[in-house]
Structure 1
Amino acid sequence: MKKTTPSAFTSLTDHQIDALLDTIRNGNAIQDHTPQIAVNEKLVDISKKIDDASRQMEEIFDIVAKTGVVPISEIKNEILPVIRHAAEIPHIYHLFYELKAQDEYTYRHTVCVGIISTLIGKWLNLDQSELNDLTLGATLHDIGKARIPANILNKPGRLTQEEYIEMKRHTVYGYRMLKDIPELNERVALIALQHHEREDGGGYPFSLRSEKIDELAKIVAIGDVYHAMSSSRVYHQAEPFHIVISQMQNDVFGKFDPKIMLVFLYRIMDSLVGRRVLLSDGEEGTILMVDPFEPLRALIKTGDTLVDLRLNRGLRISRVINDSIVGV
């Protein structure tokens, strides 16, 4: 490894490193001690349930396209229990890998954004009423796409300007479908309307700025973008994990609510504590600690050296090394 300043690299004895690791473990920084085989079994089970829920969402979209009626009871009884179950799984990094969409993107996307948004809501300590509205609204955030013509929705190439304008109308279509359903809180409809709005006013459909955007819609915006960037579609190759979270960190100020985004990034990175990573200089190491205010600038152990990425700004995590997950 190329040496830089002494403040960025600290050589420790084996005893000191062991003591530090003990301190981290006692503080619950390394939280997941579940055997890998048990993790895999849980993920296989939830992945199947997500696949089934995604197929059900396809049927629901078809019903909405034909009738204009959103079957709320079916969604609450069949889809939301799967989302809530997935959001209870503690193996966040593995779970997010399973959420990647590889086919039928539109329908799987709705389920996965529901899961990611529910997790964020839990991390923000939303009360149960808000969390319920968030889970339902996130699952229905793209329901307006049921009104978008299939030749636009499933077009493999770049949309024309007219097609793109029509695609953006899914936010308004969804709001109109949901706003008058008696058993729904208006915030559920606002999620459909506002999840493409951005903090700086650069979003759509109304170019709203931060103070005018519902907090639940801000949460779903983050889940929506994370899953979209992480998933393969006909016209978009899935971005690697480190590229996705790096880009999202770059957008902390301007596009997304910084408080919500930092919580999201911290919890993802904190789930990687104890995992091996490849650094941008080619060195491999293990994540020991994550700073809540700079989640990507972790403390890394390489050999008998500690590398603090907060102090070495020219170094970054290039890839997560995982023997049981390919292509991360």
Structure 2
Amino acid sequence: MIINVEELNPGSILAEDIYVRTNRPIITARTVLECEHIKILKAFLVKEVAIENTQIDGTIMIESTPSIHNQTREEEKNDFLSLFLQTVQLYKKEFISWQSGLPVNIANVRTILLPLLEELETVSKEIFSLYHLSNKKEYLYQHSIAVSVISALIAQKMNYSYRDMIQVALAGCLSDAGMAKINQRLLNKIEPLTEEEFNEVKKHTRYSLEMIPEHTLLKNETRLAIYQHHERIDGSGYPMGNADNKIHAFAKIIAVADTFHAMTSERLYRKKQSPFRVMEQMHQDHFGKFDLTILQSLSNAITQFTTGSKIRLSNGEKAEILFISSTPTRPLVKTLQNDLILDLEKNRHLFIEEILEY
């Protein structure tokens, strides 16, 4: 929907890139607008912008009920966006109840997640644009839901049964339940944590296990995965420092999903990063810490583009993929502005920022 800049409120989500006499957008699509963004738009004399129908708090601006059979691809994306944001708000209510001392209701969490999980097959590509929605104030709640759906997608790509995929999703969502027992001052701290503070936060894995009861909807292995999701296969993780064969397969999946979403998201102390850049970092900088089969499954899910796909590079230029090499995140591309051929394998200073069109 189109709205006058003077009527914009923080929390609105930009639907289209904003260009002002530049080749690179001054603000990119899917940015969650804050006061600073609105000031920039006014400074550049932008009069109107397109925004998503759903705000970051899950509020729907204009109710509509389009026919599912007649929906366009863009409408499907927007439906998934709205569903994700509304799910985040439902989870937030559960989390706040845990902070007040109420028990974790497994059935409630499962019910909250199921509508999103049912969309995995049709909107899996949109999952990797969720990082645009990363919002400092809502990060903790967004992270749990994003880790859940990313974990479920990995499990699906690895041919897990539907039942086990649901278990992986539940474990991903509940892996940070114990954060409800951590001092809020630490959760909202802008600066990096001190060693003492980090050791306090690390207790959340134990708190999660203590908070989550044995339940017919939750396998014992799922509870174990929640406890182990910060373990690393080289033994460098926590809480036990377990190595490869002592870590449950579910936990290995959540470890990848958790790290991937955290690295792509905007945090109180860090800017968001491209999923393609993060994928490379996880393969290179974190080598030996994650299961390679799981990493490859996530990488394959991200790089579903084909020859002819339109992308945006890290320098802001739009390009078209000409040839996909053995490293999918670094194909041969042609810039759309001046038809320059670039081999991203050789131009390591550049990377794919995002896919614009498949």
Aligned counterpart, 2:327: 294
Superimposed CA distance per residue, residues 82-111 of structure 1 (whole angstroms, 9 cap, x where no aligned partner): 33134233451x432134421411111111
- Give distance in 1, aligned partners of 2:324 and 2:263: 23
- Give distance in 2, aligned partners of 1:65 and 1:284: 45
Partner of residue 113 from structure 2, selected from 80, 91, 100:
80
Give 5+ residue unaligned stretches, structure 1: 1-36
- Give distance in 1, aligned partners of 2:353 and 2:268: 26
Q: Does 1:238 align with 2:233?
A: no
Partner of residue 234 from structure 2, selected from 167, 186, 200:
200
Q: Does 1:41 align with 2:71?
A: no
Aligned counterpart, 1:180: 214
- Give distance in 2, aligned partners of 1:41 and 1:282: 26
Q: CA deviation at 1:158?
A: 2.0
Q: Does 1:89 align with 2:122?
A: yes
Q: The residue matched to 2:199 in structure 1 has which SS?
A: helix
Aligned counterpart, 2:130: 98
Is contact 1:249-1:261 (8 Å) kept?
A: yes
- Give distance in 2, aligned partners of 1:224 and 1:114: 9
Is contact 1:201-1:208 (8 Å) kept?
A: yes
User: Are the structure 2 counterparts of residues 237 and 315 from structure 1 closer, same or farther at C-alpha, using a change threshold of 3 Å?
Assistant: closer
User: Are the structure 2 counterparts of residues 321 and 169 from structure 1 closer, same or farther at C-alpha, using a change threshold of 3 Å?
Assistant: closer
Q: CA deviation at 1:253?
A: 3.3
Q: CA deviation at 1:246?
A: 1.6
Aligned counterpart, 1:30: none
Is contact 1:86-1:115 (8 Å) kept?
A: no
- Give distance in 2, aligned partners of 1:282 and 1:51: 27
| AA in 2 matched with 1:95 | I
Q: The residue matched to 2:143 in structure 1 has which SS?
A: helix
Is contact 1:200-1:210 (8 Å) kept?
A: yes
User: Are the structure 2 counterparts of residues 282 and 226 from structure 1 closer, same or farther at C-alpha, using a change threshold of 3 Å?
Assistant: closer
Is contact 2:275-2:354 (8 Å) kept?
A: no
| AA in 2 matched with 1:261 | L
- Give distance in 1, aligned partners of 2:124 and 2:154: 14
Higher RCO (CA < 8 A, seq sep 6+): 1
- Give distance in 2, aligned partners of 1:215 and 1:159: 29
- Give distance in 2, aligned partners of 1:305 and 1:108: 38
- Give distance in 1, aligned partners of 2:260 and 2:174: 17
Superimposed CA distance per residue, residues 34-56 of structure 1 (whole angstroms, 9 cap, x where no aligned partner): xxx92221121111111111111
Task: Name the Cα RMSD after superposition.
Answer: 2.9
Q: The residue matched to 1:67 in structure 2 has which SS?
A: coil
Is contact 1:297-1:316 (8 Å) kept?
A: no
Partner of residue 112 from structure 1, selected from 109, 122, 146:
146
Give 5+ residue unaligned stretches, structure 2: 1-70
Aligned counterpart, 2:223: 189
Q: Report the structure, 1 or 2, having the larger helix content.
A: 1
Q: Does 1:161 align with 2:195?
A: yes
TM-score (norm 2): 0.70
Q: The residue matched to 1:236 in structure 2 has which SS?
A: coil
Q: The residue matched to 2:351 in structure 1 has which SS?
A: strand
- Give distance in 1, aligned partners of 2:124 and 2:110: 25
- Of all paired residues, the percent bearing the same amino acid is 31
| AA in 1 matched with 2:256 | I
- Give distance in 2, aligned partners of 1:48 and 1:296: 28
- Give distance in 2, aligned partners of 1:282 and 1:112: 26
Q: Does 1:152 align with 2:186?
A: yes
User: Are the structure 2 counterparts of residues 58 and 227 from structure 1 closer, same or farther at C-alpha, using a change threshold of 3 Å?
Assistant: same
Is contact 1:53-1:111 (8 Å) kept?
A: yes
- Give distance in 2, aligned partners of 1:90 and 1:48: 13
Q: The residue matched to 1:255 in structure 2 has which SS?
A: coil
Aligned counterpart, 2:247: 213
Partner of residue 134 from structure 1, selected from 168, 188, 205:
168
- Give distance in 2, aligned partners of 1:164 and 1:85: 36
Aligned counterpart, 1:319: 352
Aligned residues: 283
- Give distance in 2, aligned partners of 1:185 and 1:80: 17
